[in-house]
Amino acid sequence: MDTLNNILTYVGLGFVLLGSIFLFLGALGIYRMPDLYNRLQAGTKASTLGAMSVVLGVGLMQPDWLIKLLVIIIFIGVSNPLSSHALARASYRSGIFPFFKKKIDAYEAEVEKEKMSAETHDPASKCGNK
Amino acid sequence: MKKLIIFITVAVLTYTLAVTFKDIPFGENRIGDLNNPGTVSAYYLQKAPEDLHVSNTITAVVVNFRGFDTLGEVTVLFLAATGLASILYRKEDEEEDERITLKSSSLVRTGAKILFPLMLVLGLYVFIHGHLTPGGGFQGGAIIATGFLLMLITYKRFNTNHNVMVWLESIAGLAFVGIGLFGLFRYGSFLQNTGWTGNLNDLVSGGLIPLIYIFIGIKVGTELTNVLDILLKIKPRKN
């Protein structure tokens, strides 16, 4: 039992180290990247993985907390990408363009289509609820 | 020249801070002996677990030792919400009672459905365990209001039942005062709490403290939700 706990502690420490490396890289990315979209993906992808593995590492070191921590991991996994998606969408719609010249823009057509349908249909169909 | 001014300002500030902090004994035991309290901090740290059976001393201070002050804080929040409502509420807009948010993407709408119950549970957990873990009524109420904010900005048709909110808020506020009056008549002082207090570290312990914090949590949550609801319904003025 003692050996198992020791092994779990070392694996947990490894996860915490990995997570802190990713968190550091995310912070570096926010500082170094040229425009909003790059910063968003650095800040979200890296920090989601970093926070998740730090929490998982703590859970392996303290097995009593594991269930609670798994719930926290699910929460981070749902909320972090969602918020970055909403931020990116809102910034695109308010007219912030990428730093580099864009080659492919699949979302532009989507926005145009939505605008067209909003003009033709009555306002009641625009409501958020389906 | 500008850089010189900045440098001199920073240097003066650093020097002042250094001189001030030099005399503060960081890391020293300034609380004193817990068993023979000579300071207020030592008194609280000793009395909260001993007399009230509350493991979170901050909660004991906020709800019990200065409970009257907390009642004042709740009143301030209530007055702020009332003032906001009375300024911003416009009756002629009742028919087009829609928020000004844009349509959110289906990803956000699905995610909000998953996150909303989790946030409510977290808020409830924080204020029910206010006497055991960090946090309490105000924090838990704020978390609940955040959950409602997520739903309010995601779904245009999501509406809180105004009557239920108002009733919950009023009952919670009245219950807080009622508990205070109960202490006054039963033990001789407003918000007094020296009767049955349970065992240390149990969920049901601390006597009236968890009860008060639950009511504060409900009150803060409903109040902040109402404030957010009103703020999201402001429209640009029509000319």
In a domain, A94, yes or no: yes
**Closest to A42 (Cα-Cα) out of A30, A51, A52:** A30
Report the mean per-residue pLDDT for chain A: 84
| Model confidence, pTM | 0.78
Q: CA–CA separation, B58 vs A18, rounded Å? A: 35
A67 neighbourhood in chain B, CB within 8 Å = none
Name the CA dihedral angle for B164, B168, B171, B174, rounded to a multiple of 10 degrees: -130
Residue of A nearest to B104 (CA): A128
A93 touches chain B (CB under 8 A): yes
Question: Distance between CA B218 and CA B203 in Å, rounded?
Answer: 18
Residue of B nearest to A127 (CA): B156
Is the CB of residue B118 less than 8 Å away from at least one CB of chain A?
A: yes
Structure tokens at A30: 């926010």
CB contact under 8 A, A128 and B156: yes
User: Does residue A120 have a pLDDT over 90?
Assistant: no
Q: Decide: B77 and B223 in contact? Cβ < 8 Å.
A: yes
Chain A residues 15-74 with a CB less than 8 Å from chain B: 71
Mark yes or no for CB contact A79/B157 under 8 Å. no
pLDDT the model gives residue A69 = 92
Q: How is chain A split among helix, strand and coil, in percent rounded to 5?
A: 80, 0, 20
Question: To 5 degrees, how large is the angle CA B167–CA B168–CA B169?
Answer: 90
Structurally, how many domains does chain A consist of? 1
Q: Are A41 and A74 in contact (CB under 8 A)?
A: no
In a domain, residue A84? The reply is yes
Chain A residue at shortest CA distance from B110: A82
Residues in chain B: 239
CA–CA gap between residue A15 and residue B152 (Å, rounded): 37
Q: Is B66 helix (H, G, I), strand (E, B) or coil?
A: coil
Does residue A104 lie within any of the structural domains?
Answer: no
Interface check for A86 against chain B (CB to CB < 8 A): the answer is yes
Instruction: Please report, in angstroms and rounded to a whole number, the separation of the first and last CA atoms in chain A.
Output: 54
Confidence of residue A38 (pLDDT cuts 50, 70, 90): confident
Q: Each residue's pLDDT tens digit in chain B (239 positions)? A: 889 999 999 999 999 999 998 888 887 777 777 777 778 888 888 888 888 888 888 888 888 888 889 999 999 999 998 898 888 876 655 555 667 667 788 888 898 998 999 899 999 999 899 888 888 889 999 999 999 999 988 888 788 888 898 899 999 999 999 988 888 888 888 888 776 777 777 888 877 888 889 999 999 999 999 888 888 877 766 65
> Would you list the DSSP string of A10-64?
HHHHHHHHHHHHHHHHHHHHHHH-SSHHHHHHIIIIIHHHHHHHHHHHHHHHSGG
Contact residues on chain B for A82, CB-CB shorter than 8 A? 107-108, 111-112, 115
| Angstrom distance (rounded) from CA B55 to CA B206 | 9
Domain limits, chain B: 55-232
pLDDT value at residue A124: 47
Q: Do A129 and B115 touch (CB under 8 A)?
A: no
Q: Please say whether the beta carbons of B112 and A85 come within 8 A.
A: no
Cα–Cα distance between A57 and B187 in angstroms, integer? 50
CB contact under 8 A, A126 and B103: yes
Residue-level pLDDT at B237: 63
From the list B103, B107, B156, the residue facing A82 with the nearest CB is B107
Q: What is the ipTM of this complex?
A: 0.70
**Is pLDDT at A118 greater than 70 in this prediction?**
no
Residue A79: is its pLDDT beyond 80? yes
Tell me, yes or no, whether A45 lies in a domain. Answer: yes
In contact, B55 and B131? CB cutoff 8 Å:
yes
A85 touches chain B (CB under 8 A): yes
Strands (E), B95-219: none
CA torsion sign for A57, A58, A64, A70 is negative
- Assigned domain for A29 exists: yes
Which domain range does residue A85 map to?
2-98
DSSP class of residue B55 equals S
Using alpha carbons, select from B64, B52, B57, B72 the residue that is nearest to residue B190. B64
Which DSSP helix (H) or strand (E) runs through B188?
none
A contacts of B155 (beta carbons < 8 Å):
128-129
Residue A77 burial class via C-beta count within 10 angstroms: exposed 0-12, middle 13-18, buried 19 and up: middle
- At A4, is the pLDDT very low, low, confident or very high (cuts 50, 70, 90)? confident
The verdict on residue A118 lying in a domain is no
pLDDT confidence band for A130 (50 / 70 / 90): very low
